């Protein structure tokens, strides 16, 4: 009887989780909690390319670990994280424009009007770039409701 009660409790607990709504994380991070898969967000602006971060230069912000290629870039980010953090929490900008979220490839990126946008891959980035202004407008409209889910 005890075994049955324990088993019943475990099954009931599993079903209770199935009906629970989980909020979207404000920052997309990989399995290890790394924002932008460990790439330096500041380097997109200063070097114009995706640069892998170093665990020696790490900062926790907005629920994720951000990695940087230098102390200077880490200091810049700490001084103004909103300036360097990717839009839509680092989720794929094209997906957000369509009303859902998707992971990203750190090498599929654009800086538009001083803001960093990431995409799922280079092919999706090409599609997103066909109507950047329209996709940003749609993404800006969709993002608050996606974050609230």
Residue 112 lies in a domain: yes
Residue 69: closest CA among 61, 58, 85: 58
Please tell me whether residues 31 and 73 are part of one structural domain: yes
CA atoms within 13 A of residue 70's CA, in its CB half-sphere: 8
Based on the domain organization, do 116 and 135 belong to the same domain? Answer: yes
Contact 118, 92 (CB under 8 A): yes
Residue where a domain stops, chosen among 37, 65, 84: 84
> Do residues 78 and 95 share a domain?
no
Local confidence band at 9 (pLDDT 50, 70, 90 cut-offs): very low
Q: Write down the H helix ranges in the chain.
A: 2-18, 43-46, 71-79, 81-84, 93-97, 122-128, 132-148
The pLDDT score that the predictor gives to residue 12 is 38
**Residues 148, 91: one domain?**
yes
Q: Which domain holds residue 43?
A: 26-84
Tell me if 74 is assigned to some domain.
yes
Whole-model pTM: value is: 0.84
Q: What is the mean pLDDT of residues 111-131?
A: 98
Q: How high is the pLDDT of residue 1?
A: 54
What's the number of domains the chain is made of?
A: 2
């Amino acid at each position: 009887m005890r075994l049955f009660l324990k088993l019943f409790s475990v099954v009931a607990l599993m079903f209770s989780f199935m009906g629970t709504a989980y909020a979207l994380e404000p920052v997309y991070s990989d399995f290890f909690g790394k924002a932008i898969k460990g790439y330096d967000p500041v380097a997109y602006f200063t070097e114009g390319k995706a640069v892998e971060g170093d665990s020696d230069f790490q900062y926790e912000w907005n629920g994720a670990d951000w990695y940087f290629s230098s102390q200077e870039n880490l200091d810049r980010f700490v001084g103004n994280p909103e300036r360097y953090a990717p839009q839509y929490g680092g989720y794929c900008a094209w997906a957000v424009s369509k009303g859902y979220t998707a992971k990203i490839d750190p090498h599929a990126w654009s800086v538009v009007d001083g803001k960093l946008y990431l995409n799922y891959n280079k092919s999706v980035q090409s599609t997103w770039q066909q109507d950047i202004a329209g996709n940003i407008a749609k993404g800006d409209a969709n993002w608050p409701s996606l974050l609230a889910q």
